[in-house]
């Protein structure tokens, strides 16, 4: 089957609400190994839906951090990665801060949710043989669980909880 989609990752960015990081659609396609047969439009729609869903679930947390004076997730004191410019000798001048753990967990939640939303596309685009198991309900459940666990970590809820049934 011919696909007009190029093998290049798209350059679209999902602009977020100013607090949470923007989402690069091409990075999502690369990191989550999205098959090239999935249209750019489907990827963008899945990312938009995932951003909306995760933002809704983290609304109170965002408000709490903003009340503490943090205007962006990147401002929150958290472990972070540092990037050294290629060929840099002077580490003082060449090191830049990359995303922090809060941003990384947010992006993980969004990416997992978006890929779970795209799972039906995998089976309708002839990917069953190329991506065995990717269209299985277990894979989708696993991605939704991954998203939920990232959100639970952000809001400070343990991975497992017990409740009384009354």
Q: Using CA atoms, how far apart are residues 122 and 46, in angstroms rounded to an integer?
A: 13
On whether residue 145 sits in a domain, the answer given is: yes
Q: Cβ(126)–Cβ(1) under 8 Å? A: yes
8 in a domain, yes or no? no
113 within domain boundaries: yes
Residue range of the domain that includes 55: 13-155
Whether 3 maps to a domain, the answer reads: no
Least confident of 17-21, 29-33, 79-83, 126-130: 126-130
More confident residue, 88 or 147: 147
CA distance linking residue 164 with residue 57, whole number of Å: 23
Q: With respect to residue 6, please indicate whether it lies within any of the assigned structural domains.
A: no
Q: What percent of the chain has pLDDT over 90?
A: 60
Distance of CA 101 to the CA centre of its chain: 13
User: Are 133 and 141 in contact, with CB atoms under 8 Å apart?
Assistant: no
Cα–Cα distance between 2 and 20 in angstroms, integer?
37
Residue 146 forms part of a structural domain:
yes
pLDDT (tens digit per residue) in 126-159? 555 445 555 567 888 999 999 999 999 999 988 7
Domain count, the chain: 1
pLDDT for 33 beyond 80: yes
Inside any domain, residue 60? yes
């Amino acid at each position: 089957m011919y696909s007009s989609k190029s093998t290049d990752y798209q350059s679209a960015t999902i602009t977020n609400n100013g607090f949470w990081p923007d989402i690069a659609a091409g990075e999502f396609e690369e990191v989550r190994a999205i098959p090239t047969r999935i249209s750019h439009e489907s990827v963008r729609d899945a990312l938009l839906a995932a951003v909306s869903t995760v933002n809704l679930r983290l609304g109170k947390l965002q408000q709490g951090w903003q009340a503490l004076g943090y205007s962006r997730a990147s401002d929150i004191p958290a472990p972070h990665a540092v990037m050294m410019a290629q060929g840099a000798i002077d580490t003082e001048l060449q090191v830049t801060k990359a995303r922090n753990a809060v941003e990384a967990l947010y992006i993980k939640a969004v990416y997992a949710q978006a890929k779970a939303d795209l799972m039906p596309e995998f089976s309708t685009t002839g990917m069953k043989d190329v991506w065995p198991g990717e269209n299985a309900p277990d894979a989708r459940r696993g991605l939704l669980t991954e998203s939920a666990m990232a959100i639970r970590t952000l809001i400070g809820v343990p991975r497992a909880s017990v409740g009384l049934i009354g």
